[in-house]
Amino acid sequence: MVLKALLRHARARLETTGIDTPDLDARLLVEHFTGTTRRDAIVEPQKPVGPEQMAAVEAALARRIAGEPVHRILGYREFYGLRLALSPGTLEPRPDTETLVDAVLPFLRDTVARTGGCRILDLGTGTGAIALALLSQVKAAHATAVDMSDDSLNTAVANAASLGLTDRFHPLKSDWFERIIGRYDAILSNPPYITSDHMPGLPRDVRDYDPPLALDGGEDGLSAYRAIAFGAGKHLASDGIIAVEIGYDQRQDVTAIFAESGYAVEEFFRDLGGNDRAIAFNKRNERFDGEKSPWQRIGLPLGFD
């Protein structure tokens, strides 16, 4: 079979089984398992595909038809321009979480400009997505990446190595703040925030393949926010921020939880779909001595409050 015919065959198989994005999934799987590119499909559509490559594509199509997410089959996902390996213990990073990265970048750059460096604490690091994206953008930053899962930490360490960020990426196995020492300029997290009773109703590609530990936020979906708000005090620098990803309907509840622990909202941030997606908090003080926050000084990007 030639490349053009294989792409057509893969797309047809996925279409007949109701896959939402058959064109994209077929292309990703064929390119990955044949070692070809989009350019090859355009310039060399008659390029022969060997039997071993055909077998690998067929096996991948069978996995996708059975419900396995395409990026789980590929073994990686792109996040903030970085290729991150996945493993069974890691949440698959998604574009919505890039909102949190965009949100804190102005603060981190402002901190570096004022002090010459910054320290990041990434709680529940998973693949290392948030910490590694920020380290790739802020060369003077260091990140402590915390997770309870050995599998996640091993995957995050491997991702840091592949990106050349090992020297500034510091993994730590800890249950939230249990083993944290010192203070940080930014404490960040994309915590589990799905309510327990909604877990069985999640889409199959999430429910069956993302780790429950990274999804289940307890009876009301807010358990992780309570743990972060309660434990952050002795680890947040006096002029630091806490920034967390939230569910689209959790803005008021999460704000109230942090207010109870003495934190004030610095900014709210929306994703590209216009949904509430992240909140940044600071300690209730005159953090900038009456000056504007870094977001106010540079102007808020499109989609932010």
How does pLDDT run across 41-55, given as a tens digit for each residue?
A: 999 999 999 999 999
Q: What's the domain count of the chain?
A: 2
Give the residue, 19 or 153, on which the prediction is more confident: 153
- Domain contains 81: no
Is the same domain home to 132 and 262? yes
What is the predicted pLDDT for the residue at 105? 97
Sheet holding 276-283, edge to edge: 169-173, 141-147, 118-123, 184-189, 236-245, 276-283, 263-270
Q: What band does 297 get if pLDDT is binned at 50, 70 and 90?
A: low
What is the predicted pLDDT for the residue at 68? 95
CATH number of residue 165's parent domain: 3.40.50.150
Is the same domain home to 60 and 115? no
Domain with 22, as residue range(s), is 3-74
Is the same domain home to 109 and 63? no
What is the predicted pLDDT for the residue at 287? 52
Concatenated DSSP letters of 190-217: ----B-GGGGGGS-HHHHTTS-GGGTB-
- pTM for the predicted model, two decimal places: 0.92
DSSP 3-state of 135: helix
Nearest to 182 by CA among 144, 128, 136: 144
What is the predicted pLDDT for the residue at 305? 42
pLDDT, one tens digit per residue, over 204-239 is: 889 999 999 999 999 999 999 999 999 999 999 999
Which residues have CB under 8 Å from 140's CB, separation 6+? 112, 116, 117, 118
What is the predicted pLDDT for the residue at 1? 87
- Domain contains 79: no
Is the same domain home to 135 and 48? no
- Domain contains 83: no
- The mean predicted confidence, pLDDT, of the chain is 93
C-alpha 102/C-alpha 269 separation (Å) is 9
C-alpha 237/C-alpha 121 separation (Å) is 11
- Domain contains 191: yes
Query: In this structure, are residues 145 and 163 in contact, taking their beta carbons and an 8 Å threshold?
Result: no
- Domain contains 273: yes
Q: What band does 298 get if pLDDT is binned at 50, 70 and 90?
A: low
Q: What band does 199 get if pLDDT is binned at 50, 70 and 90?
A: very high
What is the predicted pLDDT for the residue at 249? 95
Is the same domain home to 121 and 262? yes
C-alpha 281/C-alpha 32 separation (Å) is 42
Is the same domain home to 63 and 106? no
C-alpha 241/C-alpha 277 separation (Å) is 16
Q: What band does 143 get if pLDDT is binned at 50, 70 and 90?
A: very high
Query: In this structure, are residues 129 and 102 in contact, taking their beta carbons and an 8 Å threshold?
Result: no
The arithmetic mean of pLDDT across residues 126-136, rounded, is 98
Is the same domain home to 287 and 202? yes
Residue 13, both tokens: 């198989």
Percent of the chain with pLDDT over 90: 89
pLDDT, one tens digit per residue, over 10-60 is: 999 999 988 889 999 999 999 999 999 999 999 999 999 999 999 999 999
The arithmetic mean of pLDDT across residues 118-140, rounded, is 98
The arithmetic mean of pLDDT across residues 64-80, rounded, is 96
User: CA torsion sign, 284 to 286 to 288 to 290?
Assistant: positive
